[in-house]
C-alpha cells in the first residue's frame, strides 16, 4: 500500500525515519497496521509493520496468518512479508531498525509492553508519537474504503428494515440483539462492529446501554444501535421505534431528533468546522422542550474502527473534508422514561454529503 504509506508520512510532523505499528493480543490490535497492510481477514496478533518514507512496507507476520500475508504481499510489490513467531521477532526487528535514528509509533494504540520491549531492544532509537498523523491520514477515505463502508452500511440498513417485524410483546433485549446479529451475518457481515445495543423503555435513556433479559411491553420505545463489519470496515446505525400504543411525548421526541439530524446534515460540506455539525443539531434540541437532553457529540468518524478518528462535538477543532466518513446521531434522553437516537453513516462529497445507511428513520409505531 505504497500510496497509503506515503499519505501517512505526508501527515507526520516531525517526520521520523521509519514508522512501526505493532499488534499485541486481540483486542489490542492496531487497526492502523491493517490500514497499511490491507489483509481482509486474520488477527495478526504480535505482528509488526515497518513503513518507510519511500512507501515500502516490511511486515513481520505471525505464522497463524502466513498464507493470507503472502497472498497480500503477492498483490502488492511494495509489501514484503517475513513470517516469524511473535516470541522470536526481536532479532528481525533489530536487523531492520538498527541505525535508524527516529521511529514513529502509534502512541494511542501501542501497548506499554511493546514500548518497553522496543526501548530495551533499540536503546539508541528516538521514538516519536505518530498518532495524530496516522489519524489524519485515515480520516479521509479512498474510493475503495468508501465502497467497503457502503457495504457494511447496507448490511446494517437491511437489518434496520427488518427490526419492526421482530418486535413482539415479551421478547427480551438480548433475544432481539441476537436476532439482529444473526441477520447481519446472513446479509454478509463478518461480525458485529461493536456490542449491539437494544434498549427497551427507560433503558433507552442510556446511550451505551448493554442489553439484558428485560422484556418488551406495549407502550415502550425502543433504541437499537448496531453495526456490521465488511472487509474490516464498519457501519454504525441506530434506529428508534415505538411499540404501540402511542405515547405523544415520545412521538414528539422522535420528530425533534429527526429535525436535529436534518439540521446537522444540512451543515455538512467541505471546509466547515466539524463542530458546526454538532452545534446545528444541538440548536434544534435546545430550542425544544428537551433543552440539554443531547448528552453526547453528534457523531464520530468511522472506518476501520467504529470510533475512528475524532468525534463531532462542540469543541472539535478540525474541518470537514471531502472523503470523510462519519456518523450523524443526535438523541434525546429522558432518564426514567426512555430515549430516541437516530444514527446514520455519511460520506462527505464535493458539495455536501451522501448517505451510506438507508433504512427508514421517521417515527414508526409498531402495533403491539
Phi, then psi, of 103 in degrees rounded to 5: -130, 130
Minimum CB separation of residue 70 from Mn ion in Å reads 36
Q: Check if the beta carbon of residue 270 is closer than 8 Å to that of residue 350.
A: yes
Taking the least distance from each CB to Mn ion, the nearer of 79 and 240 is: 240
Taking the least distance from each CB to ligand GLY, the nearer of 107 and 194 is: 194
d(CA 265, CA 355): 10
The H or E element that residue 243 is part of is: strand 237-243
Going by C-beta distance under 8 Å and a sequence separation of 6 or more, which residues neighbour residue 176? 163, 166, 167, 198, 211, 216, 224
| By the rule CB under 6 A, 115 interacts with ligand GLY | no
Which parts of this chain interact with Mn ion (CB under 5 A)?
225, 236, 327, 343
CA proximity to 176, closest of 145, 201, 146? 201
| By the rule CB under 6 A, 344 interacts with ligand GLY | no
Burial classification of residue 269, based on how many CB atoms lie within 10 Å of its CB (0-12 exposed, 13-18 middle, 19 or more buried): middle
Taking the least distance from each CB to ligand GLY, the nearer of 145 and 343 is: 343
Taking the least distance from each CB to Mn ion, the nearer of 8 and 163 is: 163
| By the rule CB under 6 A, 225 interacts with ligand GLY | yes
| By the rule CB under 6 A, 30 interacts with ligand GLY | no
Minimum CB separation of residue 171 from ligand GLY in Å reads 21
d(CA 248, CA 219): 11
Q: Which of 158, 181, 329, 345 binds ligand GLY (CB under 6 A)?
A: 329
| By the rule CB under 6 A, 343 interacts with ligand GLY | yes
Name which of Mn ion, ligand GLY, none residue 214 binds, using a CB cut-off of 5 to 8 Å depending on partner kind: none
Neighbours of 280 (CB within 10 A): 22
| By the rule CB under 6 A, 145 interacts with ligand GLY | no
Q: Map grid coordinates 468518524 to a residue.
A: 301
Taking the least distance from each CB to ligand GLY, the nearer of 106 and 327 is: 327
Minimum CB separation of residue 335 from ligand GLY in Å reads 19
**CA 118 and chain centroid, separation:** 29
| By the rule CB under 6 A, 236 interacts with ligand GLY | yes
| By the rule CB under 6 A, 308 interacts with ligand GLY | no
Residues that bind ligand GLY (CB under 6 A): 194, 225, 236, 329, 343
Amino acid at each position: 500500500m505504497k500510496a497509503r504509506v506515503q499519505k501517512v508520512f505526508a501527515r507526520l510532523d516531525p517526520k521520523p525515519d521509519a514508522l512501526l505499528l505493532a499488534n499485541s493480543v486481540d483486542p489490542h490490535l492496531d487497526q492502523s497496521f491493517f490500514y497499511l497492510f490491507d489483509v481482509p481477514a486474520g488477527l495478526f496478533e504480535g505482528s509488526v509493520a515497518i513503513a518507510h518514507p519511500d512507501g515500502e512496507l516490511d511486515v513481520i507476520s505471525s505464522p497463524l496468518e502466513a498464507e493470507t500475508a503472502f497472498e497480500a504481499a503477492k498483490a502488492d510489490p511494495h509489501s514484503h512479508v517475513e513470517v516469524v513467531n511473535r516470541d522470536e521477532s526481536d532479532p528481525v526487528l533489530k536487523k531492520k531498525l538498527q541505525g535508524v535514528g527516529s521511529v514513529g509509533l502509534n502512541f494511542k494504540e501501542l501497548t506499554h509492553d511493546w514500548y518497553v520491549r522496543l526501548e530495551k531492544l533499540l536503546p539508541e532509537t528516538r521514538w516519536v508519537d505518530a498518532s495524530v498523523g496516522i489519524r489524519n491520514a485515515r480520516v479521509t477515505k479512498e474510493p475503495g474504503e468508501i465502497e467497503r463502508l457502503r457495504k457494511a452500511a447496507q448490511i446494517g440498513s437491511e437489518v434496520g428494515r427488518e427490526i419492526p417485524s421482530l418486535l413482539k410483546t415479551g421478547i427480551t433485549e438480548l433475544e432481539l440483539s441476537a436476532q439482529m446479529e444473526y441477520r447481519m451475518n446472513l446479509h454478509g457481515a463478518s461480525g458485529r462492529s461493536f456490542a449491539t445495543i437494544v434498549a427497551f423503555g427507560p433503558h433507552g435513556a442510556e446511550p451505551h446501554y448493554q442489553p439484558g433479559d428485560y422484556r418488551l411491553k406495549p407502550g415502550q420505545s425502543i433504541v437499537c444501535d448496531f453495526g456490521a463489519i465488511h472487509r474490516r470496515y464498519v457501519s454504525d446505525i441506530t434506529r428508534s421505534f415505538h411499540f404501540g400504543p402511542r405515547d405523544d411525548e415520545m412521538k414528539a421526541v422522535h420528530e425533534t431528533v429527526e429535525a436535529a439530524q436534518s439540521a446537522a446534515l444540512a451543515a455538512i460540506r467541505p471546509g466547515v468546522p466539524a463542530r458546526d455539525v454538532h452545534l446545528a443539531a444541538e440548536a434544534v434540541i435546545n430550542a425544544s422542550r428537551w433543552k440539554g437532553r443531547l448528552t453526547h457529540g453528534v457523531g464520530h468518524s468511522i472506518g476501520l474502527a467504529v470510533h475512528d478518528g475524532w468525534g463531532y462535538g462542540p469543541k472539535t477543532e478540525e474541518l470537514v473534508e471531502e472523503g470523510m466518513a462519519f456518523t450523524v446521531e443526535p438523541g434525546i434522553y429522558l432518564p426514567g422514561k426512555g430515549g430516541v437516537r437516530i444514527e446514520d453513516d455519511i460520506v462527505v462529497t464535493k458539495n455536501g454529503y451522501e448517505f451510506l445507511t438507508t433504512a427508514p428513520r421517521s417515527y414508526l409505531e409498531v402495533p403491539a
